[in-house]
A = this chain, B = another copy of it.
Amino acid sequence: MSNLRNFTYQEITLGQTASYSRVVDEAAVKLFAAASGDVNPVHLDAEFAAGTMFEQRIAHGMYTGGLISAAIAMELPGPGTIYLKQDLTFRAPVFLGDTITVNLEVVEKLDKKKFVILNTIASNQHGKVVVKGVAQVLAPTEKLDIPRPEIPKVTIE
């Protein structure tokens, strides 16, 4: 695995982009339910979900918020970034098995405070936008290039 690296405020350029993808599988939905305590049956119970407008299980909307946050923290600006603001518009449901790709683009730099504004767009494997928003972050000033920590190992019963 490659190291975990960041972009400092100085290095970040207007128009710079990054992306981050995850498959939304059974484990992801259960982990998010366990972490947040949101055990709504539309996420966990296939039979219940079949009777909803979605006709099948969907992921928690804020799970995609978590992927946007991970994209910022892992890719651009990366480690050392301080998250200040995020707005999210939930545009379409995310189904189990979907591959969600977060695309980030730097749209503004505020030199005085070292704030960076990014467009944050999450789309599914069909290119459909599922969550859209804008993030404001305090970019790192110190360059980091560190071993990538392993993803915690969890087992779901």
Chain A's interface size range is 35 or more
> A85 contacts which of B82, B89, B156 (Cβ < 8 Å)?
B89
> A83 contacts which of B61, B85, B86, B149 (Cβ < 8 Å)?
B61
> A44 contacts which of B69, B85, B90, B152 (Cβ < 8 Å)?
B152
1/0 contact string of A27-49 vs chain B (CB within 8 Å): 11011111111111110110010
CB distance from A86 to the nearest CB of B (A): 5
The answer to whether A66 touches B36, judged by C-beta atoms less than 8 angstroms apart, is yes
Question: Does residue A70 face the partner (Cβ distance < 8 Å to B)?
Answer: yes
Question: Does residue A74 face the partner (Cβ distance < 8 Å to B)?
Answer: yes
CB distance from A21 to the nearest CB of B (A): 9
Question: Does residue A12 face the partner (Cβ distance < 8 Å to B)?
Answer: no
The answer to whether A38 touches B70, judged by C-beta atoms less than 8 angstroms apart, is yes
A window 57-84: CB within 8 A of B: 60-63, 65-70, 73-74, 79-80, 82-84
A window 68-122: CB within 8 A of B: 68-70, 73-74, 79-80, 82-90
With A45-B149, A61-B83: A73-B31 Cβ-Cβ less than 8 Å: no
A residues apposed to B, CB below 8 Å: 4, 20, 22, 27-28, 30-42, 44-45, 48, 52, 60-63, 65-70, 73-74, 79-80, 82-90, 146, 148-157
